[in-house]
Amino acid sequence: MKTMKFLQAALIPVATLLYSCNGDGTTPSEIQVEGIKLDKSEILAFVGDEIKLEAILTPADADNATIEWSSSDENIATVDSTGLVVLRMQGEASIYATCNGLYDQCDLTSVFVEVGQYYCSDGTFSDEYDPQKAIAAVFYTRQHPNDLSDYSGTGIRRQKCHGYAVALHDAIDSYCIWGPYDILECYPKDSEGNPIDNFSGNTSDTDWSGYLYTQMIYEAAQKEEGLWGNDVLNDYAACWYAMNYEQKAHAPENSSGWFLPSGSQLWEIFENIEILDRQQETALVENDWYWSSSEYCDIPWEGANFLNTQQGSIEAYDKFKGAMLVRSVIAF
């Protein structure tokens, strides 16, 4: 009897194995992968970017769901085992996600941008001026260290931008005021919250947060009588015209949208004035003045900074009495 029990016990796992195996080595209880889909099919990005791709399997509870990642050209873009893509150089490549013989791909274009290139309405960049497509000229690449703006909520979809471009035309053909005598704190601060000089020496690099300031001004306007109140010219007119440049030139989906540049951004534009002077129609108006979104650090309750194209200097003037032009800026 003892021998019989031993043989019976020994046969149980063997019988179970024979019953459960299919010819392909799977078991009837396994759920097979029927499809794979990447969350992005096309990407336009910049050299140095890191982008996370997600692969969606059908059904979601499939077994044996190991995903293999690969790049068609690792000189242009690499991808790791988690779907993290790193853009190495300018060019085009495809990223593949494969599972159980099924695959999907994401085609990407890696862009390298230089100062002086034209930013086009379709989100691309060009060395050649096309008046039908070009909307701005690049004046600085990467996000400046002193730009405290967060671009996550814009079409850029990340905290830091890749650079800035200045509009090819003025936002308005006449002068406007900056805004009321409010202190919005549109100026750089030190660790204790004290104003940092954003005026002396013209070339000061302290004040790059134009997008942030524009959002602060916009929020202040919203707290009054709605968007800019009933009379644009008696509210924050300069900022309104800067943002409303959208009506003249549509901002690309992968951009920040138009904003009023800060003092240091205006000065950087003036330092690279040749990128606008190449075409007579895109040049800044000579012997004139352009508002920034920066309040003057010493008297923020009254003064705002502006660019004097005649003197080649950053100056400050009365927010409500000053009459200046507006040239919008966009981040990408």
DSSP 169-217: S-S-SS-B----S-----S-B-TTSPBPP-STTS---S---HHHHHHHH
**Neighbouring residues of 23: CB distance < 8 A, sequence distance ≥ 6:** none
Rounded Cα distance, 83 and 110, in Å: 17
pLDDT for 4 equals: 41
Residue 230 CB contacts under 8 Å (≥ 6 apart), including other chains: none
Q: How many CA atoms lie within 13 A of 55 on its CB side?
A: 26
**DSSP secondary structure letter of residue 19:** H
Hey, is 110 helix, strand or coil?
strand
Q: Are 232 and 240 in contact (CB under 8 A)?
A: yes
**Which whole-number Å values give the CA distances from 92 to 35, 72, 169, in the listed order?**
26, 9, 32
pLDDT attached to residue 188? 96
Residue 237, Ramachandran bin (φ over 0: left; ψ between -120 and 50: alpha; else beta): alpha
Q: Are 259 and 279 in contact (CB under 8 A)?
A: no
d(C-alpha 325, C-alpha 287), whole Å: 11
pLDDT of residue 232: 61
Nearest Cα to Cα of residue 285 among 273, 271, 267: 273
Could you say which DSSP state residue 264 is in? H
Q: How many CB atoms lie within 10 A of CB 203?
A: 10
Tally the C-alpha atoms within 13 A of residue 221's C-alpha that lie toward its C-beta: 23
Q: What is the pLDDT along the chain (332 residues), one digit of tens a residue?
A: 444 443 333 333 333 333 333 445 555 578 999 999 999 999 888 998 999 999 999 998 988 889 999 999 999 999 999 999 999 999 999 999 999 999 999 999 999 999 999 999 999 999 999 999 999 999 999 999 999 999 999 999 899 999 999 999 999 999 999 999 999 999 999 999 999 999 887 767 999 999 999 999 999 888 876 555 556 656 899 999 999 999 999 999 999 999 999 999 999 999 999 999 999 999 999 999 999 999 999 999 999 999 999 999 999 999 999 999 999 999 99
- Bridge partners (DSSP) of residue 84 are 52
Helices vs strands, H then E, count in the chain: 5, 18
C-alpha dihedral (274, 279, 282, 287), degrees to nearest 10:
60
* pLDDT score at 230: 57
* d(C-alpha 11, C-alpha 296), whole Å: 89
Give me 186's structure tokens: 């549109």
